[in-house]
Chain A
Amino acid sequence: MKRLLGAVLSTALIGTPGAFAAEKTLTIGYSDALTGGGAVYGVPQKKAIDLAIEEINGAGGIKVGADNYKIKTIEYDDKADSTEATNVARKLIDRDDVKFILGYCCSASGGAMASFIGREDVIVLVGTAGARSITSLGNKNVFRTRPPGDYTGAAAGKFIAQQGVKTLGILAVRDVALFTQYRDSLVKAFEEAGGKVVAIETFGGQDRDMTAQLTKLRGLNPDALFVSGYVEQVAFSHRQASELGIKTQRYGFSGGSAEQFTKVATAEQMNGAWDLLAIEFNADVLGPKAVAFVDRYKKKYNENPTPNTAYAYDQVYVLRDALQAAQTTTDMKKIQETIRALPIPKEALLKYLPVNGRMFDDKGQAYIANGAFQWKNGNWAFVKELPSDAAAYSNFLKTIKD
């Protein structure tokens, strides 16, 4: 015991001349879409990361042993493209020699990274990217705050059944993994709860005319309709359903803002429609901590934070807590284990549903609460949380590899 104490002391004395803690720099890599189509997610995500870093540095940095690390970033634009993202990751690891990478707004870039990063001695903290494979592949060094689509889909299926819906007609985008995974688990959960799906109609990624499919669903006369896909397509579906005189309940999954919807459909056409999704950043639902974040974000960037900003913001605090708990910045194995056992950081904005008291499950996936939002008086209003089951989904995630 005495020897150990002596060793720690001597290390401290060698590493830190004088009695004061040393100021050091921790360089982390950042890969995200800063231009192109993905930039609507990537740029706000980067802004949130920069804000969190500024806050941590301002509060004295990350304390590891006697050292105080200030965070610095090296950033590259991966254009939400798989090839670019691979190149960026290689550059960060091989040339810039970073040990921690943040960012990844999009499935293509995040998925490409996840396909090879397991062999590298780095830790990646993924934000908004939705592809299930990012965590289901089981890389020990990848952690993600955004839950996969099918986790929310299962909760949504249960919720729709709880609303008294017996028969459901589905209209969904055809080939986008996020949406098809959500849809499949919704169907499964809804049928397990005793519901019956009358038809699954689909549309392509460029379609904006769903009247043919909706007319068919109208003829089948289900209790409710469920529509999922990109915002714009879901908005067109709601508009055209209303134009076709479909009066049944309309559920959906898209996560678009009120402005995005009213560009396509009138407020009346949207009336009563539901959006069932993970509760991303939303100051109205998440309480005072979130309101304060909005103020800080607005002060720094003169604009409102987008719903996906919190995924990445929270990850910076995960990194801080992990390094401080592990008391190392170089022992990657130890840091990985620390993250896996980490409780939710107190600065985290989103409402996480811990699995066995920990923020991330064995596959490095975190879960947040899902919510039911309904269109009322020209805007989405939070109604209630969906019956989410993070533990059950986490068990399911263990069983799959894609």
Chain B
Amino acid sequence: MLEVSDLRIGYGQVEVVHGVSFNVRKGECVALIGPNGAGKSTILKTVCGLMSPLGGSIMFGGRSTAGEPGHRIAGLGISMCPEGRQVFSEMTVMENLQLGAYTRRRSSIKDDLDEMMTLFPRLRERAGQDAGTLSGGEQEMVAIARALMARPKLCIFDEPSLGIAPRVVDEIEQTLLAIKARGVTILLVEQSVSMALRVADRGYVIEAGLIVLEGSSAELAGNKNVQNAYLGF
């Protein structure tokens, strides 16, 4: 579904991602793991069209999307739940969810809204409240629900547990598993590697802008280097 090959990305003249290749197949959940500053978020931003690559290709559903503007990529069915949640803080929870379905604004979204409220009962209570007044965990729910409202072909999560109270992190993990169970294709970047490997089917380890290791979640979890570096054994 998503085929990234030899992707190179930079800020100005400084290249930070040096030829990365990976893929995500339909129905799969793939995690990108690695230390801070490895370039994971940069890769996600580029896949979503918020940044343009220096080189390499990004194919989504058989079509090249490298360098396409973000709103067009969103229109192709890639949803992103961004790092730091990025909810529209002066709009209500309901409006945030509606905006998630912006690409589908010509069809009815009432059922989808209902579905999200069922998935996140807390949001139903808060529907009329400005998103900025919610707690971090609740805002994460809004961001996730907002991403799902697009009925995406590929849903990207960028650090969903970052800055969230520890007791809520479990809740988010459950949510991700629930979303996966619904058959949504997922690309996940998560600083909590243990959680990422519990949720994902496969993973890529990225260090300093290069993929250094790839394999199934079980393989990666069993890898000594991964254990030492990320799992804290």
> A and B touching (C-beta < 8 Å)?
no
Which of B's residues lie within 8 Å of A, judged by CB?
none
